Structures are given as C-alpha cells and as structure tokens.
A and B are shown apart, each in its own frame.
Chain A
Amino acid sequence: IHFILLFSRQGKLRLQKWYTTLPDKEKKKIIREIVQLILSRNQKTCSFVDWKDLKLVYKRYASLYFCCAIEDQDNELLTLEVVHRYVELLDRYFGNVCELDIIFNFEKAYFILDEFIIGGEVQETSKKSAVKAIEDSDMLQETVEEYMNKPAF
C-alpha cells in the first residue's frame, strides 16, 4: 500500500497516511486529484480505478470514503478486506464508530491504523490482538495528575 486516505463526501480530508516519501505540494495535489476522481464516480461503478501506475481501491462507509493506493501486483479484492478490517477495528474501539468519532479523535484513528498496518503491509490479522494493543497503550498513557508530576526528561 502506498497511501491511505479518508475523506468525507464533501471532500474534506479526515486522515492521510503516506508510506512513500513525497513533497508536501505533491501530496496536496494528489489528494485533490483523487478526491475529485472518486467523488465523481457513481454508485454503479466498481471499487477499483486505475490511476497513474497504481490502483486505487475505495469504499464508502456511511459518509466517509476509505481509499487505498496499491501496486500492480497487490490483490484488489483483498485490499477491500483490509479496508473493511480497519473499519471493524475502529468500530470495536469506539463502539459504533461514526465520522464524528474520527474527527474528534483523529490521533486515535492513527494509532489504530498503526497497530494494523506498518510500512504499507498488514501486521496483525487478529481483531482481538490489535484492539487489545491499543487499549493497553491507552492504559499506559498517564492521567492528568501523573502527567503533571512525572519529570519530562
């Protein structure tokens, strides 16, 4: 996977994860292009689009579009499953996740993604394990008191 984008139906970006290095300007251009491309496709079309030398796999869940860019030799149908799994993880963590959850807790969305995918490849195929890791990490986060009292360095 080269990158993952989450955006709303109005084209607002909710999450961007890049697994390749690109200049900022380039990223912005790509985002604009892809958002426009996908939003212009109607219901009847399939979930795959050829784009430059990559394949875009996208799926809409409620008001959010999930889009992954994969290489030529990657399995498109499996990527759909990857996207679905991510949504399931979010759902498990937040409990009936909706777009607002992702907006207000974007950093958690990133943490969850990072427990599921590293460097563009899936690292954990068990839903239970992935969510457990996040929850355990959350526990490690200090409470306000602890935070104030702990020395920084």
Chain B
Amino acid sequence: MPAPIRLRELIRTIRTARTQAEEREMIQKECAAIRSSFREEDNTYRCRNVAKLLYMHMLGYPAHFGQLECLKLIASQKFTDKRIGYLGAMLLLDERQDVHLLMTNCIKNDLNHSTQYVQGLALCTLGCMGSSEMCRDLAGEVEKLLKTSNSYLRKKAALCAVHVIRKVPELMEMFLPATKNLLNEKNHGVLHTSVVLLTEMCERSPDMLAHFRKVRQLSSSQLVPQLVRILKNLIMSGYSPEHDVSGISDPFLQVRILRLLRILGRNDDDSSEAMNDILAQVATNTETSKNVGNAILYETVLTIMDIKSESGLRVLAINILGRFLLNNDKNIRYVALTSLLKTVQTDHNAVQRHRSTIVDCLKDLDVSIKRRAMELSFALVNGNNVRGMMKELLYFLDSCEPEFKADCASGIFLAAEKYAPSKRWHIDTIMRVLTTAGSYVRDDAVPNLIQLITNSVEMHAYTVQRLYKAILGDYSQQPLVQVASWCIGEYGDLLVSGQCEEEEPIQVTEDEVLDILESVLISNMSASVTRGYALTAIMKLSTRFTCTVNRIKKVVSIYGSSIDVELQQRAVEYNALFKKYDHMRPALLERMPVMEKVTTNGPTEIVQTNGETEPAVLETKPPPSGLQPASQANDLLDLLGGSDITPVIPTAPASKPASAGGELLDLLGDLNLTGSPVSAPAPQIAQPPFLLDGLSSQPLFNDIAAGIPSITAYNKNGLKIDFTFERSNTNPSVTVITIQASNSTELDMTDFVFQAAVPKTFQLQLLSPSSSVIPAFNSGTITQVIKVLNPQKQQLRMRIKLTYNHKGSAMQDLAEVNNFPAQSWQ
C-alpha cells in the first residue's frame, strides 16, 4: 500500500474542493484509507494519519475511530508521536469517552519522564481535560511536581493542581504544604500560576482563606504583605523586556495579584488596610493610554470597591470609572458602565456625580452600552432629578431599538410611580410612553395604569381628554387604546361636558365619542381584548350619556351575533341588561370606586390575598339574585320556621337598596383584592370589567386544597344540582361551592333561581348565575358560585329554595342539604 499522503497535502487537496459534496467525497476517501492503515497497525504512519484525522475533525467530520490510535501514540516512545497523541487526546478523548481512563497509566509514566517536555505534555493534558478519577489517581504526582525546582514544570503543575481542585475539591488540602514556597520564586510563570492556584483555593474554601490571611509563610512574611511586595516590585522596577507590554511590566501578573488581594481583603479589615497604599499607588501611577493599563485600573477599581477600603480610595475608584466613561474606546466605556452598575447601590452619591455622562451613553451606537446605560439611568433616578432624567429616558424610548422598548417602558412606569412630582406629570408621562411605545408596553401595565388613573380623582377629566385626543388620530397601539377605552367608558360624561381644569377643554359630542369607540370595535387592528374594552365602554356610556342611548342599544345588539365569542357573550349580557334588568343598569354601570392597591414587587409578580387572583373578581359582582331574595327574605324565614337559621342576603342588607355602589364597595372591601393581575395568558389579564360575569369555570384560588369530593345536593323531578368544593390553604374559613344545575327532562327549565340559607354562624355570598335557563336532556348546565365563610368551623348545613318554570307552570321546591363532606368545612 502506498504511503499515506502527508498532512499538508491533504489540507491542500481538501481546500481545492469547490462544493461541500466534493469535500465530503475527498474526506470519505481519505478516512477509508486511514481506517485500513489503522487496521494494519502501522507504526510508521500512525502519527501522520491521526494528524490528518484531527484536521478532518476540525472541519466537522466524525473522528471517533481514531481514539484508540491516539492512545497508542501517547504510549509511543517517539516524541513526535506523543505530541500528536496528546493533542488528539485533548481533542477526541474527553472524559465522556469510554476509553478516556486508559490514558491514566501513560500519563503517569510520562509525568515521571526524563524529558521535561514530555512531562509538560502530560501535565498539560491532565490539566486541560482530566476526569475526576484521573485526577484522583494522579494528584500525588502533580503534587510532587509542584515542589520541583524546575520552573518550567512547576508552573504547569500549579495549573494542573488548579484543575484537580476544580474537579475534586476534597483534594485541596493535599496541595497546601506545597504552596508555602511558591511565591518565593523569581520566575514570572511560576508566580502567575501560583497566584492562580492560591486564588482558586481561597475562593473555594473559607477555611483556606482564613488560613492564608493569618499563617506565616516559610520566609516569615504573611501572604498579603508578600503579594503587596511583589506588586510593588512590578510597578517600580525598570523596563523588563521579557514581560513588558506597552511599557507596563507583566500586566497579567499584576491583575491576578489584584484579584487575589480582592478576595483576601473582602470583609477583612486588617488585610484591607495592608493593601490600601498599594492600591492607591496602582490607581494613580498606571498609564491609561493603552488597553493594558486600563485593564489593570479596571481590576484595581473592582478590588477597591469590594474590600473594606477607606472612603477616599472609593471616591478615587469611582472617578476612575468616570474617566473611563469619557474614553473613546467603547470597550472601556462598556466596562465602566458594568462596574458602575455593580456599585450604584453602595456608593450611590458618588455615581450620581457622573449621571450626565451616563445619560450621554444612552445615545451611543453600541447596543450593549445602551442597555447598561439604561439600567444605570433607572438606578440613578431619584426625587431630585426625576424630571430631567425622565425627559432623557423618554427621548431614549422614542429612538431605541425595539428590544429595549418593553424594559424601558416598564422602567419608566416604575420610576414615575416612585418619584412623580405631581399627578399631572405622572399621567403626562404615562401618556407619552403609551403614545411613543404603545405596542411594546407589557400587558400588565394596562391594569396598573387604569388603577392609577382611578386613584387620581381630580385628574379624571384631564386624563380622559388627553386619552381621547390621543386615540382620535391613531388607534393602533393596543395598550393605549385599551386604557383610553376604559377611561372614556368611565369618564365619558366629563369628556362631553367639557369640564377640564388643567387644559383647554375640547368640545366633544356624545356621537363623536361613540364614533371613535365604534371605530375601535370595527378596526382590523384591534385585538379581541381591545374590542372587549371598547364594547364595555360603550355600554357604560349608556348611563352617562343622555341622547345616544338608542345608538348604544343598537351597537350592543349588533354584536350579539358577533363571531368572536368573547364579544358575543358581552353583547348578549348587555342586551339582557337593557331588556330585563334595566332597573339595575344604573347601579351596575356606576363609576368604579377607588381601588385598593397592594404593592407588588415587579410587573410580573402577583401578590395574593385570600388567594384571589382573577382580575375579573376585582370588578363588580352584582348578583341579580341579590336584590330579588331581599324582598323574599321574609318568605324564606317563614318557610324555614325561623329557627337558628338566618336567611341569606347575598350582598348588603336590603335596607340599602339605593346604594348599589355601597354594596360594591363592600364586595371589594371583603374580597381584599389586589391591583395587579395574573401573569397568565394575556387575553385574560387585560379583561375589563365583566359586569355580568357569571362564573369562571376556573378555580378562584391558587392554592387549592386537594380533592374534596363533590355531592349531589338535590335531585328531583329531573332537576339535579351538584355541589363541587374548593378551599384555600391560606384562608381555611372560606369554602367556595360551585353549583351545577342540570335538567334531564325533555323540556327546558326557564327563569331558574337558586337561593340558599345557612345557620347564623355562617356567612354566605351568592354570585350571579351563568344563566337562568337549564336546557333539556342534560345538554347544558347553569353554574353559580357560592362563597361560604365558616370561621367557627361548624358543620356545614344549607337550606335551598329552587324556583323555575317548567312545562308551562311555575315550580318551586325547598330542600335541605346535609351531606356536605367533612373536608368542605373542617
């Protein structure tokens, strides 16, 4: 067989391939040749073949069949073989390979080889990719070499030890004695690697750290002073061509020493004091014209900020960072911003001095710099500078890349909330954000803003006017339109009456307002959620506007047949409001009260009280049944014989008929709601008030106690009522019962009303039912939610009264429910 082609030949040949396919062909041919050569156990050409294989591996082709060959090369006596063999091992034989461990013996032998370059190869390989088993086996050898006087080997052994410690931390102790002498070396290589080794040990083990801080080294000087001395020599010594980089002596070593000093000085006053001088010296004497000097200064600054340095030194450090910010070199600016971000919490005032430079960085072209400048700017906003900063940040929001807009908008909202100098300013700022970056605003911002607006009672007129003007021109930005729709719905009366104090009031007619809301409804650009907002807003205006009620009725009835199920449901319910429950309409559509806000930790976190999370719960829950049973309460009493059972008035007592708003307040107070919604699917978060929200089939609690069995509470004449239970772990006195009423007869049951009464020690709250018709043949159910408060944990009992129309006659029935499972009330 002809001699295998040389490596360079192969490389040249492969490079002539014009297509990927051609290359693949060549490679496959060569691989085949190599494979047969391996099979022949050819010692002469093994090295060449493996080298070629490594080249092909780099191009991305599989080379695992060369693994064993690498082992053979390592075991060979020829240096050339070993060199390639070890290279192959480092590339192909990582610890995940089965044959990895077979290397151990070879490496062990080579660690004791007579030639230092062979030993070096072995140390290098072990130090780059030795597995934990291998490290355990060979740690002793490494430790021995750590004590040799041969600096070439010593430095490699030190880094090998670092690797061993990383893989098998328990072996750290073993290297401790050898470290005593390490820093007495003159050789920079050994010094450098020793410092790395000491750093690794100190970082990993607090005991080691304590040890190195205190213990006297062999040459009777402690570690910190020793390091300080070495560093001093580096700075003061004259030009040393061997280690010089742009006029600075061995910057690599300087930086490593500074880093080790940082670890030694952290939280330790004595050590920190010992290094104050040298740090000041380095900080003031280092040349800053080239990158290398700045690298050292950077490390110095990091060290100063991390140890217990005196304040003068800290100010010096921050000023260095400030100078960095003005540097033309982007990398330096980047590094400065990163460091300032880390220190802004602790040295806030010092960083504030550089605020204007930081703000200038917002205009930089580099994305990473912009991001850091933005984060830093938000960290620096305070009560004094908020107006100026906000101007800059709003300008930034306008011109920055899309990937920033969401974070920037959120940041602005947070900052505005904390430091707003006036409500009007706050609202103006929000408006500005909505109009410039409207589509990037996070979903949870909408409810937050609505809540904020609600709370600024005196600004309502101003707010709604501005929002109206904003969407007049452009209603494509969803969050903006949602907030605007909501506000117009709530405060439309203020809008048309031209009551604005803060600004020149505009003349708007009711029709114009409805025009814009209808455009939102029709527009292709509006999301389903936005449409929902608009429809509800139109509905609310039916009580606030006087001349356009018919128009509103028409709009609402049109959407009763909308394809969008969401819209359809709302329209149907609103229609029902117009038709059957018109007397309730004013009460239901009353102005929203000021919402209790529980502070949150951030836009996506939820604060739960009583386990309530559904934002829909926030809104009104006016159970129609609330007003009816009120008048029938006496009936119930009669029926029940007035024993220890009190009738249930689902909401406030009937003595407050006109103050439906008061009832709502009670409801809201009771439920102790949060102001921020779930970070669940977006459409649900942005759900506007569902006035007639029957029932969500979702559990209302987040921490549901596991599986309470459901019961059949009533089953007679084809009407079956099932109770399912949910309880909250955080509030065990509340039990939520969901009733499901089904009809197995062949005719529908209509005008179904469910009423319930419980013993005195309980409190009951009945939410509105999903409908009043139970379709026949079990083809659908009515669901209704009952909340029972049982603070004394008494056994749950309930009397129910059912009224409905069936087969043309009115039906009525009473029943007692006694089969509540223990888990529902215990």
Q: Which of B326-334, B437-445, B633-641, B764-772 contacts A (4 or more CB under 8 A)?
A: B326-334
Q: Is the pair A123, B368 in contact by a Cβ cutoff of 8 Å?
A: no
A104:B8 contact, CB within 8 angstroms: yes
Q: Would A125 and B188 be within 8 Å (CB), given that A46-B331, A118-B160 are in contact?
A: yes
The residue among A121, A126, A127, A141 with the most chain B CB atoms within 10 A of its own CB is A121
The answer to the question of B547 belonging to the interface, with a C-beta cut-off of 8 Å to chain A, is no
Check if A81 sits within 8 Å of B96, measured CB to CB.
Answer: no
A93 to chain B, nearest CB (A): 15
- A78 surroundings in chain B (CB, below 8 A): 251-252, 255, 295, 298-299
CA distance A126 to B84 in the complex (A): 25
The distance in angstroms between the C-alpha atoms of A133 and B84, with both chains bound, is: 16
**A136 proximal to B (CB < 8 A):** yes
Which residues of the partner chain B approach A19 to less than 8 Å between Cβ atoms? 128-129
The residue in chain B whose Cβ has the minimal distance to the Cβ of A15 is: B58
Give the contacts of A106-153 with B (CB-CB under 8 A). Answer: 106-107, 110-111, 114, 118-119, 121-129, 133, 136-137, 140-142, 147-148, 150-153
Q: Is A54 an interface residue (CB 8 A)?
A: no
Known pairs A46-B334, A50-B368, A137-B117; A119 contacts B159 (CB<8 A): yes
Q: Give the CA-CA distance A28 to B57 in the complex, in Å.
A: 11
Closest beta carbon of chain B to A132's beta carbon, Å:
10
| Chain A residues, Cβ within 8 Å of B81 | 152
Whether A103 lies near B188 (C-beta < 8 A) is no
A38 shortest CB reach to chain B, Å: 13
The segment out of B72-80, B387-395, B726-734, B815-823 that lies at the interface is B72-80
How far is it, in angstroms, between the C-alpha of A21 and the C-alpha of B96 when the chains are bound? 8
Contact with B along A60-73 (1 / 0, CB 8 A): 00000000000001
* Cβ 8 A contact of B294, one of A28, A77, A137: A77
Q: Which of B8, B295, B369 contacts A80 (CB 8 A)?
A: B295
Choose among A103, A110, A137, A148 the residue that contacts B11 (Cβ–Cβ < 8 A).
A103
Query: Chain B CB within 10 Å — which of A81, A119, A129, A147 has the most?
Result: A119
- A137-B255 contact in complex given A28-B60, A129-B242, C-beta closer than 8 Å: no
Q: Please, what's the 1-or-0 string for A83-116, where 1 marks a CB less than 8 Å from any CB in chain B?
A: 0010000000000000000011011001100100
Name the residue among A16, A19, A114 with the largest chain B CB count within 10 angstroms: A114
Question: How long is the Cα–Cα vector from A87 to B615 in the complex, in angstroms?
Answer: 61
Residue of A nearest to B60 (CB): A28
| Interface membership of B585, Cβ < 8 A | no
Q: Check B162 for interface membership: any CB of A closer than 8 A.
A: yes
Contact B127 A124 (CB under 8 A): no
Instruction: Specify which chain B residues have a CB less than 8 angstroms from the CB of A119 in the assembled complex.
Output: 127-128, 159-160, 162-163, 166
Q: Is the CB of A147 within 8 A of B80?
A: yes
Residues on A with C-beta less than 8 A from B522 are none
Closest B residue to A50 using CB positions: B368
Residue A10 CB within 8 A of the other chain: no
Bound CA span A128–B188, Å: 12
Residues of A within 8 Å of B365, CB to CB, are 44-45
Q: How far is the CA of A12 from the CA of B658 in the complex (A)?
A: 79
Chain A residue contacts of B59, Cβ below 8 A = 13
Give chain B's interface secondary structure class.
Answer: helix
A123 to B81, CA, bound (A): 24
Cβ-based interface call for B471 (8 A): no
Among residues of B, the one whose C-beta sits closest to the C-beta of A130 is B189
Q: Which residues of B contact A104 (CB under 8 A)?
A: 8, 11-12
CA A33 to CA B51, docked complex, whole Å = 27
Contacting residue for B155 out of A21, A50, A73, A124, CB 8 A: A124
B 256-288 to A, binary, CB cutoff 8 A, 1 in contact else 0: 000100000000000000000000000000000
The verdict on A82 contacting chain B, using a C-beta distance below 8 Å, is yes
Instruction: Identify which of A16, A28, A77 gathers the most chain B CB atoms within 10 Å of its CB.
Output: A77
Interface: B120 (CB within 8 A): yes
Assess the A75–B299 pair: CB atoms within 8 A: yes
Do A48 and B368 touch (CB < 8 A)? Answer: yes
A14 to B365 Cα, complex, angstroms:
31
Given contact pairs A80-B291, A140-B115, A128 touches B83 in the complex (Cβ within 8 A): no
Question: Residue B786 at the A interface, CB < 8 A?
Answer: no
| B614 interface hit (Cβ, 8 Å) | no
Known: A78-B251, A82-B252, A140-B115. A125 touches B189 (CB 8 A): yes
Nearest CB on A from B715, distance (A)? 60
8 Å CB contact of A125 from B58, B60, B96, B250 = B250
Given the complex, which residues of A lie within 8 Å of B252, measured CB to CB?
78, 81-82, 85, 122, 125
Q: A122 to B127: give the CA distance in the assembly, Å.
A: 12
Instruction: Kindly list chain A residues whose C-beta atoms are within 8 Å of the C-beta of B117.
Output: 133, 136-137, 140
- Measured CB to CB, the nearest residue on chain A to B193 is A123
B193–A76 touching, CB < 8 Å: no
B544 at the interface (CB under 8 A from A): no
Knowing A46-B366, A104-B8, A106-B58, say if A123 contacts B192 (CB, 8 Å): yes
Q: Are A81 and B330 in contact (CB under 8 A)?
A: no
Residue of A16, A76, A123, A153 near B156 (CB, 8 A) is: A123
Judging by beta carbons under 8 Å apart, are A46 and B155 in contact?
no
Q: Does B152 contact A (CB under 8 A)?
A: yes
Q: Measured between alpha carbons, how far is A133 from B369 in the docked complex, in Å?
A: 41
Within 8 A of A (CB), among B365-392: 365-369
A109 to B80, CA, bound (A): 15
| Bound Cα distance from A78 to B251, whole angstroms | 8
Q: A77-B291, A119-B162, A133-B120 are in contact. Are A47 and B331 (CB under 8 A)?
A: yes
Q: Please name the residue on chain A nearest to B256 by beta carbon.
A: A122
In the complex, residue of chain A having the shortest beta-carbon distance to the beta carbon of B249: A125
Do B80 and A142 have beta carbons less than 8 Å apart? Answer: yes
8 Å CB contact of B159 from A82, A110, A118, A137: A118
Residues of B within 8 A of A123 (CB): 155-156, 159, 189, 192-193
CB distance A13 to B77 under 8 Å? no
B253: A residues at CB distance < 8 A: 125
Q: Is the CB of B75 within 8 A of A126?
A: no
B83 touches A137 (CB 8 A): yes
A45 to B333, CA, bound (A): 11
Q: Mark B293-324, 1 if CB is under 8 A from A, else 0.
A: 01100110010000000000000000000000
- A49 CB–B CB distance under 8 Å: yes
Inter-chain CA distance A110–B125, complex, in Å, is 12
Contacting A75 at CB < 8 Å: which of B84, B192, B196, B298?
Answer: B298
Candidates A82, A122, A141; contact of B83 at CB < 8 Å: A141
Known: A75-B255, A150-B78. A48 touches B163 (CB 8 A): no
- Judged by a CB distance under 8 angstroms, whether B826 is at the interface is no
Contact partners of B577 in chain A: CB under 8 A: none
Q: Would you call B94 and A21 a contact (CB within 8 A)?
A: yes
Would B332 and A77 count as touching, CB distance under 8 A?
Answer: yes
Contact A106-B124, Cβ < 8 Å, known A21-B129, A121-B159:
no
Q: A82 — nearest CB in chain B belongs to which residue? A: B252
Extra pairs beyond A45-B365, A124-B189, A147-B44 (19, CB < 8 Å): A13-B58, A14-B58, A19-B129, A21-B129, A48-B331, A77-B298, A80-B295, A106-B54, A111-B83, A119-B162, A123-B156, A124-B155, A125-B252, A126-B189, A141-B80, A142-B78, A147-B78, A150-B77, A152-B81
The list of the 5 closest CB pairs from A to B, nearest first, reads A77-B295, A46-B330, A118-B159, A152-B43, A119-B163
* CB-defined A-B contacts under 8 Å, sample of 28: A13-B58, A18-B94, A45-B366, A46-B331, A46-B368, A75-B295, A77-B291, A77-B331, A77-B332, A106-B54, A106-B55, A106-B58, A107-B54, A119-B127, A119-B128, A119-B160, A119-B166, A121-B159, A121-B162, A123-B193, A125-B243, A126-B243, A133-B120, A133-B152, A140-B115, A141-B80, A147-B44, A152-B78
Please give the residue numbers on chain B whose beta carbons come within 8 Å of chain A beta carbons, in ascending order.
7-8, 11-12, 15, 43-44, 51, 54-55, 58-60, 75-81, 83-84, 87, 90, 94-96, 115, 117, 120, 123-124, 127-129, 152, 155-156, 159-160, 162-163, 166, 188-189, 192-193, 196, 242-243, 245, 250-253, 255, 259, 291-292, 294-295, 298-299, 302, 330-335, 365-369
